[in-house]
Amino acid sequence: MNTTTHPTPKHVPTLPSPAQYDAFHTARARTDLVARMYAAAMGADYPAEIGASSSCDWPLLGLITSRLSMRPGQLLVDAGCGTGGIGLWLARALALRLDGFDLSPVAVTQAAARRPYFLGNDAARATFRVADLQNTSLPASAAHGIVCIDALGRTRDRDQAVAELGRVLAPGGRLVMTRSLRRDATPTWGEQAAAAGLVVEHVDERPGEPAMWERLYRFWIAHAHELRRELGDAPAQRMLAEAEQMLPALQGRRAVLLTLHRPATAPDQDRTADRIASPDRHGGRHTPDERIPQ
């Protein structure tokens, strides 16, 4: 997914459909206009290689790398992976195996096509598929680490999504995700973590993130004509509606990178995921019978 995330209610009444996500990713593949706008908004912090429609910049990538604390060969899950850039970059940088999933079949297809660029002849160690944050279809304790960037705000029930990701996380593993809320709001992530059997390990403030979104939204509005011409009326209108809706809320926004940890309850339990998700001789995994897109 890797799309914009906002301080919206926990239970979102209306959500983009997979078809709407597909339309955005299809349109964006035809032009570099959206990428150029993200690059202008982020400046020197824009990771062009990743090309995600999210708040992921170079400082965030470095922080994610540190917080995951993963070892080579372990399994990373990219939850709401969008076109796959974040997970693939991490898999290459940390020598990890990767399982990425997203609601959009078009995004998943695009992510799979990018594997050779990041992993070369070892592209088989990354898989991408269509799935939902609330129902990943992954085995329990399958992942040594999970990254979820700007995706939780697009799920119907955040408590259930965190619980599902916690179920997938192996003892000793970490779930690293972006979160946002109003500055005057009381965070609920401690309760969500506890309900999922996780503990809050780090809360890293991201004070520059709201200003980045403000710059980006103002670019969208200023270049509305180009967006409509390059992307088409429907995707462009959803972007512009988001910009108009969210701009007034940005001054009161708090953005963080949240790291949740599943404590290891026994010395050998950290290797549960190695047994469950180890590559088979064909390079796959043993599994059971399983901001924009508006």
Helix residue spans in the chain (DSSP H):
18-28, 33-42, 58-68, 85-94, 105-119, 158-168, 189-195, 209-222, 224-231, 233-246, 272-276
Q: How far apart are CA 3 and CA 53, in angstroms?
A: 5
On the 0-12 / 13-18 / 19+ scale of CB atoms within 10 A, 122 is middle
Q: What angle do CA 198, 201, 202 make, to 5 degrees?
A: 135
Q: Is-contact 256 206, C-beta < 8 A?
A: yes
Domains of the chain plus CATH, in order, are 18-276 (3.40.50.150)
- 3-state SS, residue 15: coil
Strands ordered across the beta sheet of 169-182: 126-130, 97-102, 75-79, 143-148, 169-182, 253-261, 199-205
End-to-end CA distance of the chain: 11
Q: How far apart are CA 271 and CA 125, in angstroms?
A: 19
Q: How far apart are CA 40 and CA 218, in angstroms?
A: 11
Q: Is-contact 91 119, C-beta < 8 A?
A: yes
What is the structure's pLDDT at 87?
98
What is the structure's pLDDT at 271?
45
* Distances, alpha carbon 185 to alpha carbons 55, 189, 252, in Å: 21, 12, 10
Q: Is-contact 170 141, C-beta < 8 A?
A: yes
Q: How far apart are CA 185 and CA 254, in angstroms?
A: 9
Q: What is the mean pLDDT of each run of 10 residues along the chain (294 residues)?
A: 42 67 91 95 96 92 97 98 97 98 96 96 95 96 97 91 97 97 94 96 97 97 97 94 94 96 66 41 30 34
What is the structure's pLDDT at 171?
97
Give the H/E segment covering residue 143: strand 143-148
What is the structure's pLDDT at 54?
92
Q: Quick one: CA dihedral 186, 2, 10, 146, positive or negative?
A: negative
DSSP-assigned states of every residue in 48-94: TTT--SSS--HHHHHHHHHHH---TT-EEEEET-TTSHHHHHHHHHH
What is the structure's pLDDT at 14?
60
Q: How far apart are CA 290 and CA 66, in angstroms?
A: 30
What is the structure's pLDDT at 236?
95
At 242, phi and psi to the nearest 5?
Answer: -65, -45
Q: How far apart are CA 173 and CA 263, in angstroms?
A: 8
Six-digit token string for 257: 């990178």
- 3-state SS, residue 152: helix
